Amino acid sequence: MPTRRTLLAAALFSAAGLPALAAELAPFTQEGFAAAQAAGASILVHIFAPWCPTCKAQQPILEKLESAPKFGALKVFRVDFDSQKGVVRQFKATTQSTLIVFKGATERGRSVGDTDPGSIAALLNKAL
């Protein structure tokens, strides 16, 4: 979930007519994901579960990276591991705490259970 600071920054930049500096966060929908792929966007799919301790450890790392100007064009789709089983299968994910990056329709990398800020940043860089 976006932090208050991230939402405030996005609102201020939008009101000033400036490009957003934070990644765009959205719940996963087939339509939204397909549109992002068709547009050639940099995409992160985060498969998470609210009860997962690794997912909870990943969240502040992802929030910090997603708020960085470098990742401002990143589209982030969150997939609930428990309630979106069809989507989890679509991505061939076997566990929560899975991060998958795409550039358009091409998968560029994935990781499972990673909580190292440096390696998560390196993964997100693959989507740029």
Q: What is the CATH number of domain 4-9+20-125?
A: 3.40.30.10
DSSP per position, 63-128: HHHHTSGGGTT-EEEEEETTT-HHHHHHTT--SSSEEEEEETTEEEEEEES---HHHHHHHHHTT-
- What is the tens place of the pLDDT at every residue in 73-103? 999 999 999 999 999 999 999 999 999 999 9
Which pTM value belongs to this model?
A: 0.82
CB atoms within 10 A of CB 25: 20
Would you list the domain boundaries of the chain? 4-9+20-125
Q: What is the pLDDT of residue 27?
A: 87
